[in-house]
Structure 1
Amino acid sequence: MSSVETHYQSKGLEEFSVLFTPIQLGTLTIRNKFFMAPLTRDRNVPDNIPTNLMVEYYRQRAKGGAGLIISEAMLITQQGTLWPHAPGIWSDEHVRAWKKITDAVHEEGAYIYSQLWQVGRINHIDTPQQVASGEPIYAPSAIQARPGYSKFRMLPGNPGPSMPVELKDPRRIIEQFRHAAFNAKRAGFDGVEVHTGGGYLIHEFLDTTTNKRTDEWGGSVENRARFGLEVLKAVTEVWGPGRVGMKLTPAGGYNDIGMPLEETLETFNYFITEADKLGLSYMMFLRYEVSRDEFRDGKGRGTPHDVISTYRPLVINSKFFTNQSYTPLEAAQHISSGKVDGVFLGTAWIANPDLPKRIEYGIPLNTSIDMGRLYGPKDGGVLSEEELAKGYTDYPFAELPLAN
């Protein structure tokens, strides 16, 4: 038994012990199971290039003991988003900026994956980045998302998403994912996570309410899954086996997406089974969370079901990870019971850059999150670095007890 394990067991924290044990992820040996989920923080001010402040943010959490960090979602190409100051990974300038972050994380003994993202129809034609791109808004079909809480707060009147145009050649976007994966490798990441959920482009191809195509990219389950599978294949060709993960939200609900249960099960059973053949390192499933669903007239947009019991049997060659409103204790319990291989925590990392150390030494977690500063300037304005640091990099590390 290690000295660390003896310490937290003596403190009555043995139920957390599984979080402190290593895990093999492809060819990487992760030092523990304290995984940090992708967290939108909007500090890429004034544009979409990661900053030195972000270097400090990621370094803090790696220094605090994270085993694996997934970056905030990064755009594979210039496009608008629901929030301003989202980072990109399409240019050499992005590569150089992200390299500072990956170097900092590695210096502290952690690993980091980049999350690759194409927003699809959850976009507005008047956002600055979309205007600068000179491109229309692409989706599988020309179906506009209802506003819900998908609002562009940096635009006058807080409008919802614009009407998209049908993507004529999906292979063009597949190649953009490939290029982004290559750039992430150049930037020193240890792998990539493809965002296949959230009501964004890949999810839109999967869902029958957003994909009404009659060509090879729509209609049957096999055709609707084709785009996502081809993206995963392209990214895996860049990275090789064991270095590509994906995020899934089969329960839907977010960004006006979700199918009836029977269609949901048929679609995701096929998509997951085929994806599991590609040599992925992991699949991360978001549990259904009622607070994340969109309700109209008392009816939710999502498809509530138990994603763990439903899809765990299908994931044979990849690690099965989960996320969504976990406490560290529940995460440890789910791993110990064999329900999942690992859990990504999100909220707990915001105000606790030293999350593992606090649990190891029985120090209470800081639960006081500065919600007003959770994100950057929502109106698209530019704040000073001092202002951006508030509620971001100014959460303190706990004072650890002196060794006996």
Structure 2
Amino acid sequence: MPISTNSPHLLSYFKLGDLALKNRIAMAPLTRSRAGKERLPNDLMAEYYVQRASAGLIITEATTISPQANGWQHTPGIYTDEQTQAWQKIVDAVHAQGTPIFLQLWHCGRASHSSFQENNQLPVAPSAIAIQGEGIHTPKGKQNHEIPRALETEEIPNIVEDYRRAAERAKIAGFDGVEIHAANGYLIDEFLQSKTNHRSDRYGGSLENRYRFLQEIVESILTVWSSDRVAVRLSPNGNYNDMGSPDFRETFLYVAKQLNSYGLAYLHLVDGLAFGFHEQGEPMTLAEFRSVFDAPLMGNCGYSQETAETAIEEGNADLIAFGRPFISNPDLVERFANNWELNPPAEQNIWYSFDSEGYTDFPFYPEAQAV
């Protein structure tokens, strides 16, 4: 593939641990709701990922680690043998294109609803604090957020073990690594942030205690995977799922410093403000994290080809993840490399159509114009 003179850094080869990436563009994890009510990866999903396999690295859509972790319609899981085997077909198809693929591990926490839970139990969270604002789409239609049930201290090791088992299943399925979803107001993020963690046990209060849940998850997964095949995603600036804490800067710099000791594959930061900012202070930057984290940094959210190139050229990022541009541009990398025009953004009403519409039907750049 020709390398654009406008993006020599973004489109350059990169060594991620012992993985060879053909460029520094990652396909960001994107919830697309195509796994059906059974939450099983399928042939349509395989086609979707293969279409986008010119990325240097693919990170799958968020994938739940247990039935309790579910909180979104038709998203895939990794907690049964059947799901594990179904993922293997997708991994094999992506590997046939020469592209590494990481599985993102997810627990929705309070951003779930009783209608997703076994026996209509309440969703769980560090503390009994509900999401304020817009409701949630459930199997029974759009409903208001509920006040979650605060997890008992003795329950937490069981969830840590769910993460470990999911990581083990990811290895069986042939993935190249796992990304721990600790962002966007889901369970781990809820433990990290003072806004949502009002606990008085060993998992709440001090920074050290609020970090403990993530620490235990990372260390449990490191019994399955080597550290250079494990990544973590954080969203220090985001307000999604009603997040944003006054001590966000202190919290996330502390978390990054602690994670730095493991030699992880990368730290994935939703640093951009394109999809909401909590306005609790000046937004955090990749440069701040670069000062405390030695392993590769991945930026994400609202990047253009130009701003991504600049972030890598200036040394603030090693990789940039693109999300929404990959939805409507399966050949995003080729478009960047050749300075081809992008497809118009996809309408949000078809992002979660449950079928091929708005998923695998976006046009590749016409071969006739690729001369």
TM-score (norm. length: structure 2): 0.94
Q: Which residue of 2 aligns with 1:376?
A: 353
Q: RMSD value over aligned CA atoms?
A: 2.1
Letter in 2 for 1:41: R
Please, which of 29, 38, 59 is the counterpart of residue 47 of structure 1? 38
Note the C-alpha offset of 1:159. 1.7
- Partners of 1:142 and 1:240 lie apart in 2 by 35
Matched, 1:351 2:337: no
SS in 2 for 1:100: helix
Q: 1:32 to 1:374 in 2, by over 3 A?
A: same
Q: Counterparts in 2 of 1:22-101, with a 5 A limit? A: 22-62=13-53, 65-79=54-68, 81-101=70-90
- Partners of 2:15 and 2:29 lie apart in 1 by 20
Q: Please list the CA deviations of residues 224-273 of structure 1 after superposition, one character each: whole Å capped at 9, or x if unmatched.
A: 1111111111112211120001100112411122211xx22222222111
Matched, 1:283 2:262: no
C-alpha contact 1:35 1:66 (8 A) present in aligned 2: yes
Q: Which residue of 2 aligns with 1:217?
A: 203
Q: Counterparts in 2 of 1:4-403, with a 5 A limit? A: 4-5=2-3, 8=4, 14-62=5-53, 65-79=54-68, 81-127=70-116, 130-131=117-118, 136-146=122-132, 148-156=133-141, 158-169=143-154, 170-260=156-246, 263-289=247-273, 291-293=275-277, 300=278, 303-316=281-294, 318-377=295-354, 388-400=355-367
Note the C-alpha offset of 1:121. 1.2
- Partners of 2:202 and 2:29 lie apart in 1 by 32
Q: 152-161 or 99-108, which moves further after superposition?
A: 152-161
- Partners of 1:303 and 1:144 lie apart in 2 by 23
Unaligned runs of 5+ in 2: none
Q: 1:125 to 1:153 in 2, by over 3 A?
A: closer
Letter in 2 for 1:33: R
Note the C-alpha offset of 1:219. 1.2
- Partners of 2:220 and 2:41 lie apart in 1 by 25
Q: 1:152 to 1:82 in 2, by over 3 A?
A: farther
Note the C-alpha offset of 1:152. 2.7
SS in 1 for 2:115: coil
Note the C-alpha offset of 1:137. 2.2
- Partners of 2:348 and 2:238 lie apart in 1 by 25
Q: 185-194 or 282-291, which moves further after superposition?
A: 282-291
Note the C-alpha offset of 1:397. 1.6
Letter in 1 for 2:261: K
C-alpha contact 2:122 2:148 (8 A) present in aligned 1: no
Q: Please list the CA deviations of residues 54-103 of structure 1 after superposition, one character each: whole Å capped at 9, or x if unmatched.
A: 011111111xx111000000000013655310110001011111001000
Q: 1:54 to 1:131 in 2, by over 3 A?
A: same
SS in 1 for 2:110: coil
Letter in 1 for 2:49: Y
C-alpha contact 1:124 1:162 (8 A) present in aligned 2: no
Q: 1:244 to 1:4 in 2, by over 3 A?
A: same
C-alpha contact 2:112 2:123 (8 A) present in aligned 1: yes
Note the C-alpha offset of 1:304. 4.6
How many pairs does the alignment contain?
A: 370
SS in 1 for 2:211: helix
- Partners of 1:82 and 1:301 lie apart in 2 by 27
Unaligned runs of 5+ in 1: 9-13, 294-299, 378-387
SS in 2 for 1:229: helix
Q: Indicate the percent of aligned positions where both proteins have the same amino acid.
A: 37
Q: Please list the CA deviations of residues 260-309 of structure 1 after superposition, one character each: whole Å capped at 9, or x if unmatched.
A: 1xx2222222211111111211001112526424xxxxxx5755513323
- Partners of 1:35 and 1:292 lie apart in 2 by 21
- Partners of 2:178 and 2:234 lie apart in 1 by 14
Q: Which has the larger radius of gyration?
A: 1
Letter in 1 for 2:235: T
Letter in 1 for 2:183: G
C-alpha contact 1:151 1:161 (8 A) present in aligned 2: no
- Partners of 2:140 and 2:270 lie apart in 1 by 30
Q: 1:259 to 1:370 in 2, by over 3 A?
A: closer
Q: Please list the CA deviations of residues 121-160 of structure 1 after superposition, one character each: whole Å capped at 9, or x if unmatched.
A: 1111123xx136x7542211222222x1352354345222
Q: 1:303 to 1:190 in 2, by over 3 A?
A: farther
SS in 2 for 1:275: helix
Letter in 2 for 1:151: I
